[in-house]
Amino acid sequence: MATDSWAQAVDEQEAAAESIGSLQLKDKPEENGNYVDPDKAAQSLLNKLIRSNLVNTTNQVEVLQKDPNSPLYSVKSFEELRLKPQLLQGVYGMGFNRPSKIQETALPMMLAEPPQNLIAQSQSGTGKTAAFVLAMLSHVDPNNRYPQCLCVSPTYELALQTGKVIEQMGKYYPEVKLVYAIRGNKLQRGMKLQEQIVIGTPGTMLDWCSKFKFIDPKKIKVFVLDEADVMIATQGHQDQSIRIQRMLPKNCQMLLFSATFEESVWNFAQRIVPDPNIIKLKREEETLDTIKQYYVLCNSKEEKFQALCNIYGAITIAQAMIFCHTRKTAGWLAGELSREGHQVALLSGEMQVEQRAAVIERFRDGKEKVLVTTNVCARGIDVEQVSVVINFDLPVDKDGNPDNETYLHRIGRTGRFGKRGLAINMVDSKMSMNIMNRIQEHFNKKIEKLDTDDLDEIEKIAS
């Protein structure tokens, strides 16, 4: 099943990362002299940063939507995108006033006749989900009671989240029904689905198309791959997605979306999608200016923990996500924070998927202010109140090189749709400093040092 292969992939990645992590701890930074004992100044700094940077109002989104350089800018209104009246009602019901750039650009391509394929990249939190959800809802024929659109997501949590968007957007279009092809949703053998849209993870979706035949793939009109680059780059997902694709009719519309597409993945996507329309960002456009990036220099895992405790009050003004390399570190960190009396949630790959969904739901409802997690939560998760992302460990691939795509997705959990956000990277060795520098070079975007010792400097950053 998909979730198994995902868990396995995460396992392997985490195991690789674990060994790198232990190396890092032995390898102390040269800049010991620079080490700043985490102190109260940190709290004051963070408070200031958060207050001055994270204030957000609907007005601010309005302003950004009028700025031609913003990814939220659009010249069109939703009416001009010629959506069905029921969908327009759904869009406005969700509180959307204007489309974002990706919605404005992608929707006309996706709604054109005859249908056209699309590979689209747009920054995290800029409304890709709404774009492909509107495309699916526009293409289904509610009079036909069989699946017509398939949407595949890499994780159970994301499939649920996207399903919710379909439900909200389709609120005034009740004839269109949705079903979740996810682990645990057991259907009776031999049954045929009547729902027009199926959202799920790749393994279950494949089983429902081929093994159980709940879905007739020949009747599918739209096939969406969300987080398409990870679907292509992860072997298990790629096999399953390509096997589904092969069962679909030649004229089925293929829509691939992600915030990141590494070059080789981009090339592969173009090979598997016939004659696609393309929306691609330049490298320097990939990072959002609304997310301010900093690093904190420490000497060890324990010092990183101490630094984190000092800024804890500040990061919990809103909500925060803390990313670790491995399940083990995440478990350790959540345990230590709890022992200090902080209420934190933990989400990592070995938990049951239903348990994971429940943790996300509690976090989304604000029941916990801090979520400690691994890369399993790096992508797609949309919790508006997340104002701070902390990389307790910087993201690296299995060879120990910087994982730039994961970095971008992780920090993109904040700064959603025009909100401001802070990303704080904890550096504890020469090796992690090097990784951070390479990430900085890759995106050509300065990551500032958060010098918690120097109040003057702190004032400067905050203002």
Ligand X SMILES: Nc1ncnc2c1ncn2[C@@H]1O[C@H](COP(=O)(O)OP(=O)(O)OP(=O)(O)O)[C@@H](O)[C@H]1O
Choice between 80 and 459, CB closer to ligand X? 80
In the complex, least distance from residue 257 CB atom to ligand X, rounded to whole angstroms: 7
> Rounded to whole angstroms, how far apart are CA atoms 62 and 436?
33
Return phi, psi of residue 408, to 5°: -65, -40
Total residues contacting ligand X by CB under 6 A comes to 19
Tokens in use for 45? Answer: 């700094």
Nearest CA-CA partner of 260 in 232, 289, 301? 232
Contact 231, 241 (CB under 8 A): yes
Residue 203 binds ligand X, judged by CB under 6 A: no
> Does residue 124 touch ligand X according to CB under 6 A?
yes
* Residue 126 binds ligand X, judged by CB under 6 A: yes
DSSP code for 418: G
DSSP of 339-375? HTT--EEEE-TTS-HHHHHHHHHHHHTTS-SEEEE-G
Comparing CB distances to ligand X, the nearer of 153 and 425 is: 153
CB closer to ligand X, 100 vs 196: 100
Q: Tell me how far, at minimum, the Cβ of 371 lies from ligand X, in Å.
A: 15
Report the nearest approach of ligand X to the CB of residue 22 (Å): 31
Q: Looking at 3-11, 48-56, 127-135, 216-224, which segment touches ligand X (CB under 6 A)? A: 127-135
User: Considering the rule CB under 6 A, would residue 223 count as an interface residue with ligand X?
Assistant: no
Mask of contacts with ligand X, 255-294, x by CB under 6 A?
Answer: ----x-----------------------------------
Binding of residue 326 to ligand X (CB under 6 A): no
Phi, psi of 220, rounded to the nearest 5 degrees: -80, 130
Q: Does 380 bind ligand X (CB under 6 A)?
A: yes
Choose one: 120-128, 327-335, 426-434, 439-447; the region binding ligand X (CB under 6 A). 120-128
Binding of ligand X by 384 (CB under 6 A) = yes
Task: Choose the binding region for ligand X from 26-34, 98-106, 282-290, 423-431 (rule: CB under 6 A).
Answer: 98-106
Residue nearest to ligand X (CB): 127
Q: Which is nearer to ligand X, 71 or 276 (CB)?
A: 71
Query: Is residue 53 involved in binding ligand X (CB under 6 A)?
Result: no
How far CA 102 is from CA of 70, 130, 398, 432, in Å, comes to 11, 10, 32, 34
Q: Measured from the CB of residue 265, what is the shortest distance to ligand X in angstroms?
A: 15
Structure tokens at 451: 């010098």
Site string for ligand X, 407-446 (x = CB under 6 A): -----x---xx-----------------------------
Q: For the chain, how many helices (H) and strands (E)?
A: 17, 14
Closer to ligand X by Cβ: residue 349 or 418: 418
Closest CA to 273 of 234, 210, 236, 231: 231
Does 363 contact ligand X by CB under 6 A? no
The verdict on whether omega for the bond into residue 108 sits within 30 degrees of 0, i.e. cis, is no
The burial class, CB within 10 Å (0-12 / 13-18 / 19+), for 202 is buried
Q: Which stretch binds ligand X (CB under 6 A): 4-12, 81-89, 107-115, 122-130?
A: 122-130
Q: Is 431 helix (H, G, I), strand (E, B) or coil?
A: helix
Minimum distance between the CB of residue 99 and ligand X, rounded to whole angstroms?
5
Nearer to ligand X, 292 or 416 (CB): 416
Task: Give min distance, CB of 111 to ligand X, in A.
Answer: 16
Q: Reduce the DSSP state of residue 327 to 3 states and report it.
A: helix
Selected from 38, 125, 276, 421, the binder of ligand X by CB under 6 A is 125
Only segment of 119-127, 277-285, 297-305, 393-401 that touches ligand X (CB under 6 A): 119-127
Q: Which two tokens stand for residue 297?
A: 């220099």
Q: What angle do CA 442, 444, 447 make, to 5 degrees?
A: 100
Tell whether the torsion through CA atoms of 33, 39, 43 and 48 is positive or negative: negative
Q: Which two tokens stand for residue 422?
A: 């802070």
**448-449 sheet: strands from edge to edge:** 344-347, 370-373, 319-323, 386-391, 421-427, 291-297, 448-449
Under the binding rule (CB under 6 A), the answer on residue 96 touching ligand X is yes
Q: Which is nearer to ligand X, 291 or 461 (CB)?
A: 291
Q: Pick between residue 98 and residue 301 the one whose CB is nearest to ligand X.
A: 98
- CB 58 → ligand X: shortest distance, Å? 9
Least distance from C-beta 448 to ligand X, angstroms?
A: 23
Strand order in the sheet with 149-152: 178-181, 197-200, 149-152, 222-225, 253-258, 118-121, 277-279
Rule CB under 6 A: say whether 373 interacts with ligand X: no
Residues 83 and 133 sit within 8 Å (Cβ to Cβ): no
Q: Which two tokens stand for residue 311?
A: 């800024």
Exactly one of 17, 43, 87, 128 binds ligand X (CB under 6 A); that residue is 128
Contact residues for ligand X, defined by CB under 6 A:
96, 99-100, 103, 122, 124-130, 259, 380, 382, 384, 412, 416-417
